[in-house]
Amino acid sequence: MPYVETRRACQSRICYKAHSHPTLSIGAVDAGQSHFYSAFTDEVSIQQGSLVVIPAHIEHSCNPLPEQHWSYQMLHIDASWLEQLSIEAHTSLLESIEIPQLRPFVLNDKTRYDAFCRMNQTLFDSNTLIVEKEHALIVGLTQLLFPYFDWQQLPQQTYFQKHLKILMEFCQQAQGFLSLQQLAERIGVSRYVVIRLFKAHLGLTPHLYQLNLKIHQARQHLKQGAPISYLATDLGFSDQSHFHKVFKAHTGVTPRQYQHGFSRTFIQ
């Protein structure tokens, strides 16, 4: 099921940099407390039983309280797969657009939390067949979760919007990291305009957007078994140490731990 990724963190103290995912992400707090931050909503306190719904490409971070730990589950669903599911279900769910469209939100509803946990437990179960997992995922999303979610459209920014896609594609095609000057020259504006453009639409600075992009590219390569030793150079990081540091700040694990988790899953 390459369109879904799920994980569980127990008594974690790991803190994350502001980042985004090209997926719909649903988090469930199993124990402890945390604060959810995003450029697209107010800061929200979350605790045991909270569901955090983060649409694709929404900048966010979610970290435990100082000197405390928390436990949570995190489910990531491919936006293209989800778009196809919405067509099959004759509903309007989400679209695979690379610019944030919907607000993130927190749902404190024990029934929905329990439904999410049952669905996710089925995905974790190594003794459950793939067809059963797929059934549980589709039913869980379309019948037990989405009908109770309060989807709200973000106000669409008009500030140099037509140029954003050009810069995003420029970053995606670049082997290394592009400077503000290179980005500004690409569309004929000032460096200040480039910063404001990324922050207004994506909630991230141009540099953080590129770091985030490179980490997602690294995740895909790691899932496919790419040698870790080559990734830092191929993706434009200064060295292995820099790559490992940024990867862990975005994912909570090292590249080797991330790849090992997928290798173990494939073996099962």
| pLDDT > 70 in the chain, percent | 94
* pLDDT tens digits, 102-159: 999 999 999 999 999 999 999 999 999 999 999 999 999 999 999 999 889 888 776 6
* pLDDT tens digits, 186-226: 999 999 999 999 999 999 999 999 999 999 999 999 988 88
Of 265, 185, 157, 262, the closest CA to residue 219 belongs to 262
- CA 252/CA 262 separation, integer angstroms: 15
Tokens of 233: 């150079």
Please give the pLDDT value at position 266: 44
CATH 2.60.120.810 in the chain is located at 4-148
CATH 1.10.10.60 in the chain is located at 161-267
Q: Is 161-267 a CATH 1.10.10.60 domain?
A: yes
Q: How confident is the model at residue 94 (pLDDT cuts 50, 70, 90)?
A: low
Please give the pLDDT value at position 213: 95
Q: Is 153 left (phi over 0), alpha (psi -120 to 50) or beta?
A: beta
Please give the pLDDT value at position 63: 87
pLDDT-wise least confident of 28-32, 39-43, 96-100, 162-166: 96-100
Please give the pLDDT value at position 99: 86
Is residue 12 a contact partner of residue 252, using CB atoms and an 8 Å limit?
yes
Is residue 6 a contact partner of residue 73, using CB atoms and an 8 Å limit?
yes
Class at the top of the CATH hierarchy for domain 4-148: mainly beta
Instruction: Say if residue 268's pLDDT is above 60.
Output: no
Tokens of 94: 């989400």
